[in-house]
Every structure is written in structure tokens, then in C-alpha cells.
Amino acid sequence: MTIHKEGYTTIALTVLFIFLLNAFVDYKFADLAWLRWLIYIVSFALFVIVLQFFRNPRRTFTAGDNLVICPADGKVVVIEETEEGEYFKDKRLQVSIFMSPINVHINRNPISGVVKFFKYHPGKYLAAWNPKSSTENERTTTVVEHPNGTPVLFRQIAGALARRIVWYVKEGDPVVQGEQFGFIKFGSRVDIFLPLGTDVKLELGEVVKGGITVLAEL
């Protein structure tokens, strides 16, 4: 396992904070051993939590020309027909994956193809499971056209804790299934919009892994 590049600054700041906090406690409360040990334990726990959040585990990815692979780790919270009003402006099959703070937060291309549309939207920070988060929260929208001509839309959505969305694609870019297209810091969600009638392989509440779990078949 390695650490994702998006975590370098956060981890460095965390280490600095822990060092200053422990130095202050050691100086100010030298006679209170129980307090110093409590701060040591809390500091260690904080460091482990931040470190695991930015982990980039080694994986053997699933690939298939006719497969749509899950773009993120997490839990399936939505599978429903809905109106997609930004790009398609018609009914689509929406699948949403909620990422908790303990999940890997790397986002991966669900299909190979060419980026036909990309847009970043600043916005609110409603809880990621709130239905309004899809249209009101900070988010990005990416549409990739599959080699067979089928467009697939996927959307990074910031949550109540997530305050920074990172993306690595732009319009016109060729993308490869399973490669990283972005990262969301802390709790967040990814929506994916497919043509009606698409054969979805997931169930509500299922726990999935980005780049590995098959989401659908085109």
C-alpha cells in the first residue's frame, strides 16, 4: 500500500500539529503523566486515521469493453430512474455510491472512451446522502463516450465533510477504464447515469470497490 499524492500536504500538516500539541503538553503539564499519555494516544489515533484516509492500496482491476466498473469504494445508496437535467436532459438510470471517511477516496474511470463534457460546479456542503446534494453541492460532471457510442455521465459530489474535489480530466481527453480521474477528500459521493434499460449488477446497500466491482453491463 502507498499514500496518494493528494495526502502529502494534509499528512505533513497533521504531523506538524501533533508535534506542536505534544511539545506544548510536555512543557505545560509535565507533572500530569495521565494527561500526557492521553494526548499521545489521541495523537497516534489521529495520525492513523489521516494516513488510512489517503491510502492507495494495490489492486488487480476488473476490465471489460462492455462493462461499467464502480468508480469509487463505498456503499450503493441509490438505484433509480431519474431526470438528469444538466447534460442529457432526459430520464436516466442513476446509481449512487456513498463514500464514508474510512473508504478509499480515489475515483476511477468506469469505462474507457473520450471525455465529451466536463464542468466544475461550486456549491453547498449538504450531507452526501441528501438527494439535493446532486444538484446543490460542490461537484464535477464528466461525460465519457464509450467506443460503441454510449455516453456515460459520472458526478463527484462533495459532502458535509468534503471541502475539496480534485479532478484529472478535461474535455477531449482519452481515458482508460480503471485509471484515476479524481479524488474527493473526506465523506462524499459519486453518481453515475446510464441509459434506461442498462443491466445493473448491483443491489441497494451493497459494498463495492472502485475499479473492481462490476456496476453494469452495456
Picking from 118, 121, 119, 107, the residue whose alpha carbon sits closest to that of residue 172 is: 118
Q: Of these residues, 43, 96, 112, 188, which one is catalytic?
A: 188
Residue with cell 459520472: 154
CA R_g for the chain: 20
Which ranges of 98-151 would DSSP assign to H, the alpha helix? Answer: 133-136
Give me the phi and psi of 194, to 5 degrees please. -120, 160
- To 10 degrees, the CA torsion angle through 40, 45, 46, 47? 90
Q: Half-sphere exposure of 205 toward its Cβ, with a 13 Å CA cutoff? A: 0
Cell of 199: 443491466
- Sheet containing 174-175: give its strands across: 174-175, 113-121, 139-145, 151-158, 188-194, 90-99, 74-84, 207-208
User: Is 188 noted as a catalytic residue in this protein?
Assistant: yes
Alpha-carbon 175 to chain mean position: 18
Contacts of 130 (CB under 8 A, 6+ apart): none
Point out the residues that are catalytic: 188
